[in-house]
A and B are shown apart, each in its own frame.
Chain A
Amino acid sequence: MYEYERTGILSTKDLKLPSKKQFEKGVAILECIQEIPCNPCVDSCPVKAISMKDINAPPINDFDKCIGCTKCVGICPGLAIFVAKIKDGKALITLPYEFLPVPKVGDNVKALDRTGNIKGKALVKKVLKIGKTMVITIEVDEKLAMDIRNIRVDS
């Protein structure tokens, strides 16, 4: 049994990590590592970077092809895709968000890790709506690029 099957939390060891260069252009991190029958991310990718052997296979992102467009973030039914981009010592993280209130660009929100712990503040840089899913880009410290996966917005 894998640790995440007991805890519900992935560690970076469970994931394929981008190189420094790939991080700099911004790529999608697919936090979907089980064999489940689902493939909308493959269809959503405009550059065919995401592929799957069959519908049950975990998706694989070709970081060299990925352009970090964030289209898959709002599509993934499991809300399991995040785009991380590192620039000037900051990490821009794009994540799916399905709660109220919805933050506005320029807001300061709480940055949470995979266990829901507050790791610091995040600045909201972009807010998009894909159906009913909000796709939100936040800016955090560079070293938190692979840690921050949620936000909390105080009402």
Chain B
Amino acid sequence: MILHSGVGSILRIKKHPIIDFKDQKKISFCFNKKKLDGFEGDTIASALHAAGVKILTKSLKYDRPRGFFCGIGKCSSCLMRVNGVPNVRTCIAPLMKGINVEMQDKLPDLPDAEFKSNAKQTIKIDILVIGAGPAGLCAAIEGAKQGAKILLVDENQCVGGQLVKQTHKFFGSKHERAGTRGIEIAKELENELKEFEKNDKIKLMLDSTVIGYYEGDKKNQHKFGVVKRENYESKLYEVNCKAVVFACGAMENMLLFPGNDLPGVYGAGAVQTLMNVYGVKPGERVIMVGAGNVGLIVSYQLLQAGIDVDRVVEAAPNIGGYHVHAAKLRRCGVPIQTSHSIKEVYGDEKVEGAVIVKLDQNWQPIKGSEEKVSCDTVCLAVGLTPSIRLLSQMGVYLEFIPEAGGYVALHDDFMQTSVKGVYVAGDSSGIEEASTAMIEGKIAGLSAAILLGHKKNQNLLKQYVNELDQLRAGPFGEKPRIAKEKITKLMEKRHVRI
């Protein structure tokens, strides 16, 4: 393992055409008894990565080295012990001065250190919004505009969800802030949020996880347990609300091939987070798997960060993402190989290369077409799966909708699920993109406020639904269109539980 100062590291991005990485304050911490440096604003995993530490954990059975994969707190492959507290998701846990980070030795001990205080605090609120990404932020802001009191909870140390790493300009129309970069949209929404925070319309809880749904005290009331992390310790909150909006996002899909667990095989979104949020290069030479919009956009952003993209491989015979994104990459000289896939990744404790193989018409590997390509990073951009676990625990009706990316909660046009007062929005209601997530968030926030007795603003609701329909009207909107049609049709067949 090469250890170097994580601050002056070659993996730190010094200059960037789009993002201004400001000089951050240097802070020291301890990793496996060695002193390392990171920046204020880093997560533990980003600081470790910059310092050359890619192995964060070992597999329980075979002791295989593991690095992080999703980079957004969803996949559990970055769990470490911090200040004695085990199972800390280091990809979202903020780096703090003087902390002691250790690799967990097999199964962790029972986390006594985590719960120093067992005092529970109770919060009463009109609407709980879970997730402060594009959908959740818009739901919270819309609900607050209508006069409802909102609690907005997010697991990360900042709001914005995946917007904070989207350095490209968004498509759509003026209504969806077309032409504005995702990182700027995140700031605009954060500023709007701050206005509502000032007059107590919205209360924001960061570094917090909604852990479960419980029997409410009264009819039409929902009760949730929320754990807030402070200094890696946890504090329990009981939240009682009349309505809840689930905007929990999604997690990246894994692909099956030998070596897919080697440190250096990352989700494309994880790589985007690492380089665009924390200014850390994932590596020097990348193979991208998947030529949908995520794969194409992240490849281009890798080039902008000064990282070499060897190629993009895509199993389908055609490029799935927008041609304009593919063209941007091609004119920089990056090949896109359709009907190609990754056969295996090789390397000793880290990615050292991959074997790329050509596929026939039936998507089967063609013998003898294997090509060994050396690289230190393999990025997987092979789709996302909606995060629905909490909805599942609540007992809302779920269905497997392939076009939505997996199991999703059935919901009506106004984003209400089969349980009264429970709404969904964004990727957790079916995989799509940020522009539509923002509109779904507005619809969910507005619907929830109307349910609570705030002014029934039918025209605004109609306007949002129309905007959504327009964005989905083209050929690229076919998949979400089919998904949503299936979802609402199945929903009509079921009675809404009250």
Contacts and interface: CB of A to CB of B under 8 A. Distances in A.
A80 interface: yes
Given A32-B324, A39-B178, A1 B331 contact: no
A31 interface: yes
A40 to B, nearest CB: 4
Interface string B326-355: 111111111010100000000000000000
Given A7-B336, A33-B323, A39-B173, A75 B317 contact: no
Given A6-B317, A100-B16, A115 B324 contact: no
B319 A5 contact: yes
Contacts of A35: 474-476
Nearest to A114: B331
A98 B18 contact: yes
Contacts, number: 130
A4 B331 CA distance: 13
Contacts of B178: 38-40, 77
Contact of B329 (A8, A56, A100): A8
Interface residues on A, range: 35 or more
B179 A40 contact: yes
B306 to A, nearest CB: 8
Contacts of A1: 317-318
B470 interface: yes
Contacts of B17: 98-100, 102, 132, 134
Interface in B1-58: 15-18
A133 B181 CA distance: 11
Contacts of B170: 77
A56 B322 CA distance: 12
Given A77-B168, A77-B169, A132-B18, A6 B330 contact: no
Contact of B334 (A6, A32, A43, A116): A116
Contacts of A37: 171-173, 435, 470-474, 476-477
Nearest to A75: B179
A78 B331 contact: no
Nearest to A74: B179
Interface of B: 15-18, 168-174, 178-179, 181, 303-304, 306, 317-319, 322-334, 336, 338, 435, 470-477
Interface of A: 1, 4-10, 31-40, 43, 54-56, 75, 77-80, 98-100, 102, 112-117, 131-134, 149-150
